[in-house]
Amino acid sequence: MRNLKMTIEYDGTRYKGWQKQKDDILTVQDKIETVLSKMTGEDVQVVGCGRTDSGVHAENYIANFHTESALTVDAMLDYLYEYLPEDIVVKTMKDTGERFHARYNVKSKTYVYTINNNKFRSVFNKKYVYHTNDKLNLDDMKEASKVLVGTHDFQSFTSLKPNTKPTVRTINYINITENQGIIEIHVNGNGFLLNMVRIITGTLLDVGRGKVKITEVETILAEKKKREAGPMAQAKGLCLKDVQY
Amino acid sequence: MRNLKMTIEYDGTRYKGWQKQKDDILTVQDKIETVLSKMTGEDVQVVGCGRTDSGVHAENYIANFHTESALTVDAMLDYLYEYLPEDIVVKTMKDTGERFHARYNVKSKTYVYTINNNKFRSVFNKKYVYHTNDKLNLDDMKEASKVLVGTHDFQSFTSLKPNTKPTVRTINYINITENQGIIEIHVNGNGFLLNMVRIITGTLLDVGRGKVKITEVETILAEKKKREAGPMAQAKGLCLKDVQY
């Protein structure tokens, strides 16, 4: 039995996230499993590195699947390229050890949230960038981000209902950069809860706007419960950039 | 009479270029003139820094127009932002000297042609990048580009019919960069003939593919006539990046 590891790029705009759901719901996993199953004549199950929210993109999503197929990796890549829709591309594939598991073996993941803070939106990249021309204090956002780095219970930063599953995660770093009005928030952590990066981003944006104080971020984190009108940044600005194993 | 200078960004995909043509042909100039005329109640004529081909994009296209309107620049920008289609944004506007002319005063322009040379196209930026997975020899392309730098008769590098207008132009530099399979060809010159950057790019791509030798580029240039099957790179990869005055 072969175990194949894939790097996948997708534009998440029209998908209800990575993870397969009911038959009539469009997901990236479902699209890929359908093509792989047709290609191999097997009922292929793809293991992804994690869920991504509806509308979120990925540059280097990692997944693996098992097959008895004798096709070469190049032949498989070409087949996928031909039969997958234009908004999903399997960029690389390789045979890997039989014990490799795209989800269990994740050490950390890097997400990037992109904000256009110029006066007007750009005609380019509209689908991948959140635009706001609110004045943002980047120094305050950077300062507030430090509160979240480290190992914490992130119950306040997820849409998960309380006590559904463990909510302690470690954020290794949050880097905030700015270039010609384009702000990128890079978040690296060992795992992310439902909507976690978007809620972190929404909170940091509120800090940048002066609506939330840095000390309040500490309070929100300590409270371990979702705020009533917790801000959640739009999905389209978010992209899973890399996965570390 | 005020003279206003604008910086314009547009996604040229659905336009037949910048320059106004017959009424039923979609052009960027026509869209902007229509909105400015409605805004001012005048018959506004916009002077652009030059034509761009059908399907070519612009990041910082420069244009100017005269008006008696007393509206503030910010009010005008907001009006344009509201009434122009999503693929055209006037980014900046300022009152300028009455003699400023967006076309006559151009010193040079910079175009960028973007090529994705990875095995597969990307799901992102499909509309702005030409994809080819042909093996390209970048060193040869750089060497060949040097043949074109300087002041030459570019009759061989335009779709203009011979003897329709002067075809001597100066190319100040051609820089070719590569990063993770994404190749950018930056061309700066004092003026460009019809299709000139696309034919230069198409020729350099043929050099990269080994179809045309560097010495042949010299011959093509010296011949001062368009080759029978002159290669012209796709419009979508081309973007007017900057205009220098």
Is the same domain home to A154 and A195? Answer: yes
Number of domains in chain B: 2
A149 and A143 Cβ atoms separated by less than 8 Å: no
Please write the tens of the pLDDT for every residue from A3-46: 999 999 999 999 999 999 987 899 999 999 999 999 999 999 99
Domain termination residue (choose one: A42, A60, A95): A95
Interface of B with A (CB under 8 A): 9-11, 57, 59, 77, 81, 86-91, 118-126, 128
Residue B195 C-alpha, separation from nearest chain A C-alpha, in angstroms = 23
**A132: domain CATH number?**
3.30.70.660
Residue A101 lies in a domain: no
Residue B102 lies in a domain: no
Residue B177 lies in a domain: yes
Please write the tens of the pLDDT for every residue from B169-210: 999 999 999 999 999 999 999 999 999 999 999 999 999 999
Residue A137 lies in a domain: yes
> Which domain covers residue B185, as residue numbers?
108-244
Domain termination residue (choose one: A61, A95, A129): A95
Residue B144 C-alpha, separation from nearest chain A C-alpha, in angstroms = 31
Residue B100 lies in a domain: no
Please write the tens of the pLDDT for every residue from A38-94: 999 999 999 999 999 999 999 999 999 999 999 999 999 999 999 999 999 999 999
Is the same domain home to A90 and A189? Answer: no
- Are the Cβ atoms of B9 and A122 closer than 8 angstroms? yes
Using alpha carbons, select from A132, A108, A164 the residue that is nearest to residue A236. Answer: A132
| Residue A17 pLDDT | 96
| Residue B161 pLDDT | 85
Is the same domain home to A195 and A78? Answer: no
- Are the Cβ atoms of A11 and B124 closer than 8 angstroms? yes
The whole-angstrom separation of Cα A12 and Cα A214 is: 32
The residue among B218 and B228 whose pLDDT is bigger is B218
Specify the pairing of strand B182-189 against strand B168-179: antiparallel
Residue B126 lies in a domain: yes
Domain termination residue (choose one: B95, B124, B156): B95
Is the same domain home to A238 and A190? Answer: yes
Please write the tens of the pLDDT for every residue from A114-144: 999 999 999 998 899 999 999 999 999 999 9
Residue A115 lies in a domain: yes
Is the same domain home to B63 and B119? Answer: no
Is the same domain home to B237 and B120? Answer: yes
Is the same domain home to A68 and A145? Answer: no
Give this complex's ipTM.
Answer: 0.87
**A34: domain CATH number?**
3.30.70.580
User: Taking 90 as the threshold, does the pLDDT of residue A227 lie above it?
Assistant: no
The residue of chain A nearest to residue B239, with distances taken between CA atoms, is A124
Is the same domain home to B164 and B240? Answer: yes
Is the same domain home to A154 and A196? Answer: yes
A131: amino acid identity, one letter: H
Is the same domain home to A81 and A198? Answer: no
Is the same domain home to B132 and B185? Answer: yes
Residue B226 lies in a domain: yes
| Residue A161 pLDDT | 85
Is the same domain home to B142 and B78? Answer: no
